[in-house]
Amino acid sequence: MIEHVAIIGAGFSGSLAAVNLVRHGGPHATLIERRGGAGVGLAYGAAHRSHVLNVRAANMSALPDRRDHFVAWLKARGGAEEASDFVPRLTYGDYLRDTIAAAEREAGGRLDFVAGAAVDVAIEADGVRVELADGRTITADVAVLAPGNLPPHPPAAIEEGLGPPAYFADPWDDATAEGLGPDDLVVIVGTGLTMVDVVLKLDAHGFRGRILAVSRRGLLPRAHEIFPSSDGLAERPRTVASALLHAVRVRAERIGWRAAVDELRPHTQAMWQAASEGERGRFLRHLRPWWDVHRHRIAPAVAARLSDLQAEGRLTVIAAQPSAIAAARDGVRVTLRRRGHETIETVTAARAINCTGPQGDLLRTDDPLLCNLVAKGAIRPDSCRLGIDVNDQGETIAIGGRANPRLLAIGPMTRGALWEIVAVPDIREQAWTLARRLSNAHWVGGEGL
């Protein structure tokens, strides 16, 4: 009988797990968060006022059984936003805080918040013991790891010891946009969604210098558009990368690439789970960059702003690989080679910012909790080194291959098992399912029979 669940991490994933435990009449939940607040996490807590959601409001409900929940909240607060709008992320953070506050009121004492950094979890025969950095311990029947995304790994080319203001390893640091002049150059390593956020932040802070964004392929996220929905696929596509690419191209010619990509969504998790290790590896090596920019899109207004910055010569995006990032007299010196060229180029910039995107390799993280759990073999990396190895029940897998029914994981760090588990629509389903199982609500209606 599960009476108490300790959830480590109160970002979107952990907070939604707690909210759904309350909604299902489940066990007592304790949310443990080192930053102190609950619900917003890095995505909505470190957002700038210029940042908007990458998904329309209509599909951003935190509750899978109430798809209009977010839109209804917007209307109730008197906002002018519509279901088709891309709402500011700060507004979404307010929505999450309100959702958690409502769950706390409904919980009747079954939901607690603890401000503190978890550094270890001891798995015992009758439960778990969560150890905090300040010496406190929290005992529970089950612990759920909800660490969110890990920070970007440092580029291999980075000079040891290089840091602010010449180099920012953390793209969310408030100081990334400070101390720059109109004649300065900023080099951004990475051209994905994190780069987009940083460019918007620099622009909003009044930076009028130049930005050079570099990545191996120089691909930018595509923009959302309104398009007719398809009738869906009659059957799940094959998982062989070449066959999948061919199938999507054929469908794109018929219904447009956005619809062709979106109609895969109901199948992607099952396709990933059915794929062999070799197929997954080939997808990650060859197709992932193109999948990411077509699948994870940006708001049309954001895409238009990037185009304007490019047209003005303030933003340049190139396909290049940095071979060295080192301190210079007035900032940082970046040596790079453009894709398809042998010539080495060197640029001197006022600042370089790591925007390579969130990573999940447990063997490269310095997070104390994850490091301790890996060191003692309680958890292990998945075979693709995308995150924490888990089974289809969300149970973590120990070093010897044994599942830990008392130590679960949720959110983006389970992408090795599910792949599509980084966006709100996917995480809300995962949190709902996990909470139902921990509450024994999955037996209702014969679902467990």
Strand extents, DSSP E, 107-170? 111-115, 118-124, 127-132, 137-140, 142-145, 167-168
Instruction: Give φ, ψ of 319 to 5 degrees.
Output: -90, 105
What percent of the chain stands above pLDDT 90? 65
Indicate if the pLDDT at residue 446 is higher than 80.
no
Please report which helix (H) or strand (E) contains residue 198, including its range: helix 193-204
State the CB neighbour count (10 A cutoff) for residue 101. 12
Asked if the peptide bond before residue 405 counts as cis, ω within 30 degrees of 0, the response is no
- For 322-376, how does the pLDDT look when each residue is reduced to its tens digit (9 = 90+)? 999 999 988 999 999 999 888 899 999 999 999 998 888 999 999 999 999 999 9
Q: Is the dihedral of CA 58, 62, 64, 68 positive or negative?
A: negative
For the chain, give the mean pLDDT.
90
CA distances 402 to 113, 390, 407, Å, are 31, 10, 12
- For 68-120, how does the pLDDT look when each residue is reduced to its tens digit (9 = 90+)? 999 999 999 887 677 888 999 889 989 999 999 999 999 999 999 999 999 99
Burial class (CB in 10 A: 0-12, 13-18, 19+), 428: buried
Encoded tokens for 63: 């509750």
State the CB neighbour count (10 A cutoff) for residue 295. 19
Q: Match 């009747």 to its residue by tokens.
A: 108
- For 17-65, how does the pLDDT look when each residue is reduced to its tens digit (9 = 90+)? 999 999 999 999 999 998 766 656 666 666 677 788 988 999 999 999 9
Q: What was the pLDDT predicted at 409?
A: 98
CA distances 431 to 21, 99, 124, 372, 425, Å, are 9, 14, 24, 25, 10
Mean pLDDT along residues 432-449: 70
Per mean pLDDT, which of 120-129, 149-158, 254-263, 267-276 is the most reliable? 120-129
Q: What was the pLDDT predicted at 44?
A: 64
Name which of 217-221, 232-236, 290-294, 397-401 the model is least confident about.
Answer: 232-236
Domains and CATH numbers, the chain: 4-150+359-446 (3.50.50.60), 167-221+298-354 (3.50.50.60), 241-295 (no CATH)
